[in-house]
Amino acid sequence: MKRRQFVLHTTLGAAAGAAAALPLGVSAQAAAPVKVGLILSMTGPFASTGKQIEAGARLYQAEHGDTVAGRKVELLVRDDASTPDQSRRIAQEFVVNDKVAVMGGFVLTPLALAVGPVATQSRTPTIVMSAGTSSVIDASPYFIRCSFTLPQNTIGVAEWAPKNGIRSVVTLVSDYGPGIDAETAFRDRFTLNGGTVKELLRVPVRNPDFAPFLQRVRDAQPDAVFVFLPAGVGTTFMKQFVERGLDKAGIRLIATGDVTEDDILNDMGDVALGVVTSHHYSAAHPSTANQKFVAAFKKANAGKRPNYMAVAGYDGMRILYTALQRTKGQTGDALLEAMKGQTFESPRGPVLIDAQTRDIVQNVYIRRVARQDGELHNVEFEVLKSVKDPGRRK
């Protein structure tokens, strides 16, 4: 391991030196493609998420062309199978062999964390398109995040609940970074508003069996259960919630929007009706920009509905294109700087990449699952404007 790190270090050092020695504005340099290495989970339980991000990124290119500031933008997509060692290895290959100018992707928090040191050492601007634990952004000064954080997406429902007859809650979260962040943010905000948290339950990330946890929720008899599970897992949970009779026992379900995400929501059936969540994106967001985005995404993807992962892939490419225009095709530190401070209208609503934190500031919506035009949707009914990640310690 030590030797590999050394080899990586020296190779990267030499590459950075060579790049710095090139004069700016040389036409051969200007014509070279800008390679973008996306590291995504394309197989296994989180494959749907990786595919959504890739489809979002490709849609942006299809709409805006593949050349910016005279340079072709070339997407390379590799599957890390949700394994941090693989993410790190792919990142090393991307910077050493493929000489990518930018990296992006990372479905799960541990995958982004594994790539942080490679981004820093190789000085590669890297766009985090999912990984929502607050601290992910601290893993490298070369990270910018265009997705969300869990505290950002949790406080909305933690404020809504006590105003709407929910006085006691059991929390149930996936037992890793984003789940712990959601649990902490919910507990702090809900108790501040007078609520009581009866129990804090954590379920395994991989292949969770919810039954024993749901039994404990039932036994505790709270007004509601608050849930965070990463994208793609919500259907199994919802099925077991009903099978265990929690709805009949009068226990309400509140969650972050990860649980009722748009890719799977319509297949959940009526059991999902009435579930209240807070989140930064709904495919039913009623803006013209979003309606255009949803229609184009469906057209390009055999009728599939985009979820918040697709939006992050789409917006990530937009941030890159705008930055390349600003630097006139220059990459490296200049490109990173040009990514910071961008504001634009995303399909989710207005967003800002905070120049200081490198993190996204965005609206968070309170939504209720309802039938609209014959399909299940997260219908937004309240908004918290321009929410900065409340979970960061520094």
Among positive and negative, which fits the CA dihedral 116, 117, 122, 123?
A: positive
- Residues 6+ positions from 384 with CB-CB distance below 8 Å: 155, 156, 159, 278, 363, 364, 365, 366
Q: Choose which of 8, 68, 100, 108 interacts with ligand PHB (CB under 6 A).
A: 108
Residue type (1 letter), 88: R
Report the alpha-carbon angle 247-248-251, nearest 5: 45
Q: What is the CA radius of gyration of the chain?
A: 21
Residue 207 and residue 267: Cα distance in Å, rounded?
Answer: 20
**Nearest approach, Cβ of 204 to ligand PHB (angstroms)?**
14
Q: What phi and psi values does residue 277 have, to the nearest 5 degrees?
A: -135, 160
Residues in 128-147 that interact with ligand PHB by CB under 6 A: 130-133
Interface with ligand PHB includes 262 (CB under 6 A)? no
Distance in Å, CB of 260 to ligand PHB, minimum: 11
Q: Is 306 in the site for ligand PHB (CB under 6 A)?
A: no
Question: By CB under 6 A, what part of segment 166-195 binds ligand PHB?
Answer: 178
3-class DSSP state for residue 100? coil
Question: Does 282 participate in binding ligand PHB (rule CB under 6 A)?
Answer: no
Q: Note whether 258 binds ligand PHB by CB under 6 A.
A: yes
Residue from 222, 218, 221, 220 nearest 210 by CA? 218
The answer to whether residues 36 and 113 touch, using CB atoms and an 8 Å cutoff, is no
Residue 109 or 282: the one with the smaller Cβ distance to ligand PHB is: 109
- Minimum CB separation of residue 203 from ligand PHB in Å reads 14
Q: Of the listed pieces 65-73, 127-135, 269-277, 372-380, which binds ligand PHB according to CB under 6 A?
A: 127-135
Burial class (CB in 10 A: 0-12, 13-18, 19+), 198: middle
Examine residue 311 and tell whether it contacts ligand PHB (CB under 6 A): no
The burial class, CB within 10 Å (0-12 / 13-18 / 19+), for 93 is middle
- Residue 312 CB, nearest distance to ligand PHB (Å)? 10
- Residue 304's alpha-carbon distances to 51, 56, 125, 266, 376, in angstroms, are 11, 12, 31, 11, 14
Nearer to ligand PHB by Cβ, of 132 and 222: the residue is 132
Integer Cα distance of 116 and 136 in angstroms: 8
In this complex, which beta carbon is closest to ligand PHB, that of residue 131 or of residue 320?
131
- x/- track of binding to ligand PHB for residues 3-22 (CB under 6 A): --------------------
Q: Among 59-67, 104-112, 362-370, 374-382, which window interacts with ligand PHB (CB under 6 A)?
A: 104-112
User: What is the number of the residue whose Cβ is closest to ligand PHB?
Assistant: 230
By CB under 6 A, is residue 230 in contact with ligand PHB?
A: yes
Of 101 and 119, nearer to ligand PHB (C-beta) is 119
Q: CB atoms < 10 A from the CB of 224, how many?
A: 26
How many binding residues for ligand PHB (CB under 6 A)? 11
Name the one range near ligand PHB by CB under 6 A: 3-11, 101-109, 239-247, 334-342: 101-109
Tell which one of 34, 201, 231, 253 touches ligand PHB (CB under 6 A). Answer: 231
Which residue from 114, 112, 96 is spatially nearest to 145, judged by alpha carbons? 112
What would the DSSP string read from start to end of 109-145? HHHHHHHHHHHHHHT--EEESS---GGGGGG-TTEEE
Per CB under 6 A, which region of 87-95, 107-115, 157-165, 183-191 contacts ligand PHB? Answer: 107-115
Q: How far is CA 145 from the centre of its chain?
A: 8
- Least spacing, CB of residue 109 vs ligand PHB, in Å: 4
Task: Tell me: does residue 223 bind ligand PHB (CB under 6 A).
Answer: no
| 109 near ligand PHB (CB under 6 A) | yes
The residue ranges that bind ligand PHB (CB under 6 A) are 107-109, 130-133, 178, 230-231, 258
